[in-house]
Amino acid sequence: MVSHVKQKLRKIILLLVNALLNNPFIFKLIGKINNRCQWINSIFIAYPASKGYSDAYAFQKFMPIMKWTPWIAALMKYNGTFGIMMVISGLEKDFQEPNNQSNLCQLVQRVEKNAKLLNISHVTFAGILPGILYKSKIRQKTIEADITIQAILNAEKKIQQELHYSPQTPIIILGNNGFIGSRLIHRLNNRPIYPIDSPSVDYANIDLWPYQLKDNPCILINISRNFVLGHYTHLFWPQLIIINDVYPEPSKEEIDQIKTIGCPLFHIVGVEGKSWPKFPKVYKGGLPCCATPCTEDLPIIIQKLQ
């Protein structure tokens, strides 16, 4: 009951913030101040992975308005500077619909206009949006890929030190042909790599699975899509270490299955930083990786789910 009241209060506050601040005149005024102070340096555009995440930011009746129009959702602080997170209510299935190409163009135009008004140059998008915008030639920047790859590399190194496994431990990459996966492979120099890409989120490409690795120490980096991990759990073994960088976190069913097998399961929450309000669910306590600049010493937060 208490959490429900807090969530409702959070949505009311965000509604008021958007009613007061989310307009070109206020953005231009803030931009003039920001031009002198340089205290806000980034805009991060997110979207809900599920109804649970969308409910954290707005009432359902406002979802149609937010589908392609960014809504102020949080103020972020990282390494002494601030950023603004804005959300849309569009879902991954909407981004992949060919008829929504013009909506995606309008979304990018709105974001770039807001960034210009606010005097902000660092603009990033969450999840699969960067890949779709890049593939459709709406946006040519790929900074999100660089940030995410650095986060994965830092997370893998951190887990390696914690679990004391060899730097040459074989790596299975689930989702290797994607926007991130195709670039990550080139950063894993001199590592035994086994790339696997599923033809769709509904099927497992078990023909490519490295069965010869079973019962040996191995790492699986999941950068595929929602629910793909669950198609492969029946092939896992206890010595397999799983590093998940898919939004949202694995489902309860997937976690329970992995727990039964005995695999260590780590989820990349994000990077160390603060946000007001805090991000919901497992992402509470950090900032999304793509919301921060790309640096080699990116301070990663990892949560062991199992």
Domain ranges of the chain: 2-141, 145-304
Say what the pLDDT of residue 45 is. 97
pLDDT, greater one: 205 or 40: 40
Residue 2 has pLDDT above 70, yes or no: no
Instruction: Return the closest-CA partner of residue 146 out of 168, 161, 124.
Output: 124
Query: What would the mean pLDDT of 84-110 be, rounded to a whole number?
Result: 95
pLDDT digits (tens, 9 = 90+) for 116-149: 999 999 999 999 999 999 999 999 888 999 999 9
Query: What would the mean pLDDT of 44-61 be, rounded to a whole number?
Result: 88
pLDDT band at 289 (very low <50, low <70, confident <90, very high): very high
Residue 198 has pLDDT above 80, yes or no: no
Residue 201 has pLDDT above 80, yes or no: no
Q: Which CATH number fits domain 145-304: 1.10.10, 3.40.50, 3.40.800, 3.30.1460?
A: 3.40.50
